[in-house]
Amino acid sequence: MSLLIRVSVFTSLLLLTALSQAASEAVLWLHGPGDGQRSQALVLETDVDIEVTGLLAHAFVSQRFYNDSGDWAEGRYVFPLPDDSAVESLTVRVGERLIEGEIQPRARARETYQQARREGRVAGLVEQERGNVFTTSVANIPPGEEVEIRIGFRPRVDFEHGRFSLRFPTTIAPRFIPGQALPTGLGADEPGGGWSPDTDRVPDASRISPPVQHPAAPDHNPLRLRVSLNAGMELAALESSFHAIRRDYDGERWLIELDEAPEAARRDFELTWRPAGQNRIQSAGFRQTLGGSEHVLLMVLPPEQQRRSQSPRELVLIIDTSGSMRGEPMIQARESLLFALDSLSAGDRFNVIEFNHLTRSLFDSPVAASNRNIAQARRFVQGLNAGGGTVMGPSLARAMQPPIPEGFLRQIVFVTDGIIGNEQEVLDQIRSDVGHSRLFTVGIGHGVNSQFLRDGARFGRGSYTFIGDTGQIHGRMSELITQLTSPVLQDIEVHWPGSVDAVPGRLPDLYAGQPLMVSARADSLNGEITISGRQDGRAWQTSIPVDAFQVASGVAAHWGRAALQRLLDQARSPVEREALRPEVEALAVEYQLLSPYTSLVAVDRTPARSRQIALRRHDVPTNLPAGRSLDGFFSGTRALPATDAGSGSSLLRGLLALLLVGLLLGHKRFSRDEDALFDEALIEEEEQA
DSSP 165-231: EEEE-------B--SPBPPTTSS-SS----SS--BSS-TTGGGS---EE-TTSPP-SEEEEEEEEE-
Q: What is the DSSP letter of 646?
A: S
368-407: per-residue pLDDT in tens? 999 999 999 999 999 999 999 999 999 999 999 999 999 8
- Residue 635: name the closest of 677, 682, 599 by CA: 677
Q: Are strands 438-444 and 409-416 parallel, antiparallel or unpaired?
A: parallel
Picking from 485, 506, 527, the residue at the C-terminal end of a domain is 485
> pLDDT category, 22, cuts 50, 70, 90?
very low
Picking from 485, 510, 531, the residue at the C-terminal end of a domain is 485
State yes or no: pLDDT of 438 exceeds 70.
Answer: yes
Picking from 485, 507, 525, the residue at the C-terminal end of a domain is 485
625-635: per-residue pLDDT in tens? 776 765 654 44
What pLDDT is recorded for position 218?
66
Dihedrals phi, psi of 586, to nearest 5 degrees: -65, -45
Count of domains for the chain: 2
In a domain, 390, yes or no: yes
Helices and strands (H and E) in the chain: how many: 14, 38
- Residue 593: name the closest of 554, 537, 620, 637 by CA: 554
* Rama region for 117: left / alpha / beta (φ>0; ψ in -120 to 50; rest): alpha
What pLDDT is recorded for position 72?
86
Q: Report the CATH number that the domain containing residue 395 is assigned in CATH.
A: 3.40.50.410
Q: Are strands 349-355 and 313-320 parallel, antiparallel or unpaired?
A: parallel
In a domain, 479, yes or no: yes
What pLDDT is recorded for position 660?
42
**E strand or H helix at 590, and its extent?**
helix 581-590
What pLDDT is recorded for position 622?
72
Q: Are strands 43-53 and 222-230 parallel, antiparallel or unpaired?
A: parallel
Q: What percent of the chain has pLDDT over 70?
A: 79
State yes or no: pLDDT of 7 exceeds 90.
Answer: no
In a domain, 40, yes or no: no
In a domain, 444, yes or no: yes
In a domain, 683, yes or no: yes
In a domain, 374, yes or no: yes
Dihedrals phi, psi of 630, to nearest 5 degrees: -65, -40
What pLDDT is recorded for position 109?
96
Q: Calculate the dihedral angle through the C-alpha atoms of 141, 144, 150, 151, rounding to the nearest 10 degrees.
A: 50
What pLDDT is recorded for position 310?
67
In a domain, 207, yes or no: no
What pLDDT is recorded for position 164?
93
In a domain, 113, yes or no: no
Cα–Cα distance between 423 and 11 in angstroms, integer? 28
pTM of the model: 0.81
- Domain assignment of residue 664, given as a range: 1-31+654-689
